[in-house]
Amino acid sequence: MIKELLKAFEDMVYSERYPSLDGSLQRIDPTVKLFMTTIFIITIVSMMKITPLILLMGVVLLLAISSKLPLKSFLFRVTFFIPLFAGIITLPLPFITPGRALASFTIAGLSLNLTYEGIYRMILFTFRVWLSVAFLTLLISTTKFNDILHALSRFKLPQIFIMMASITYRFIFNFINEGYRMILARESRITRKQRRMEVMKTLGNIIGTLFIRAYERGERVYFAMLARGYSGELRSVNGLKVHVRDWAFAIITISICSVVIMLNYIDLVIW
């Protein structure tokens, strides 16, 4: 339990390290970046062939390198967890999809056909998930969360939402720390392995206590904010401006996506 909490915490700290590097994507306006990432992902999800996806893979690697992200850890972060999971759940596909048989086996009286179509579907699905995750990771590892919130507020989201989200973000670390301390204190007091039911009850107690602390902290935060001139409105100091390079980035993105979509529909590309 503790190890996972620590790992999650570490991830968060690391994820805020790369946005301050001086790479190409870090200089793009977050609103433009968010919008263009969405366009890339929509394009990826609508692909039915592998060839255009390879082109997009080139794009994502190029962007990662020019943003000075360490390629090895970027690829590690992108490949493990979600795409790996996608790969595992599609493992039966080559055998259950009807189509041209490449090989057949008989295991325990069951005859299995390894089909070309099945392998193709497996690769397509996993590749699509991998690329989507890669683009999302690219966005979040070059943008601070506060900038993303700021970008979202330009899309006319309710002020209450933006304000609550930004306060929430500030206090997450605090509560993870507090929860971690409580679990550590608990584990240092027990001398035997706990039963499943006990662990769940303890967890409930910890969360209940955290709930009360969160409520009381919320009241204190409100008074602290009130003392500093809070009136229920959100004010931001860092004004974001859209530059020429942002327009250039947007135009390049849209042209790449149109080419890729065209590639998906012309018959010249079979794969």
Partner 1 sequence: MHIPDGFLDLHICAITYLATIVFWVFAFRRARQVIDEKHIPLMATLTAMFFAAQMMNYPIIGGTTAHILGGPILAITLGPYAGLISMSIILLIQTFLFGDGGITTLGANVWNMGIVGVFIPYMVCLLILKIKSSKTALFIGVFLAALVGDVLAAIFAGLELGLSTLTFPYSVPIAVTAMGLHHFVIGVGEGIVSMAIISILLKVRPDLMEIPKIAPLWMGELRFTTKVG
Subset of residues 16 to 35 that bind partner 1, contact rule: CB under 8 A = none
- Interaction between residue 190 and partner 1 (CB under 8 A): no
| Range 221-240, binding partner 1 (CB under 8 A) | 221-222, 225, 230-232
- Interaction between residue 254 and partner 1 (CB under 8 A): no
Which residue bears the tokens 């910890």? 206
Smallest distance from partner 1 to CB 182, Å: 9
Rounded CA separation 1/127 (Å): 32
Interface residue with partner 1, options 75, 120, 175, 240 (CB under 8 A): 175
Interface residue with partner 1, options 80, 102, 218, 248 (CB under 8 A): 218
- Interaction between residue 169 and partner 1 (CB under 8 A): yes
- Interaction between residue 179 and partner 1 (CB under 8 A): yes
Compare residues 135 and 249 and give the one whose CB is closer to partner 1. 135
Round the CA-based radius of gyration of the chain to a whole number and report it.
24
Compare residues 211 and 271 and give the one whose CB is closer to partner 1. 211
Contact indicator for 150, 30 with CB cutoff of 8 Å = yes
| Range 68-127, binding partner 1 (CB under 8 A) | 77, 82, 86, 89-90, 93, 121-122, 125
Cα 228–Cα 234–Cα 237 angle in degrees, nearest 5: 80
- Interaction between residue 164 and partner 1 (CB under 8 A): yes
Smallest distance from partner 1 to CB 244, Å: 26
| Range 131-150, binding partner 1 (CB under 8 A) | 131-133, 135-137, 139-140, 143, 145, 148
Interface residue with partner 1, options 45, 88, 102, 248 (CB under 8 A): 45
Which residue bears the tokens 């973000």? 169
Q: Dihedral of CA 209/215/220/221: which sign?
A: positive
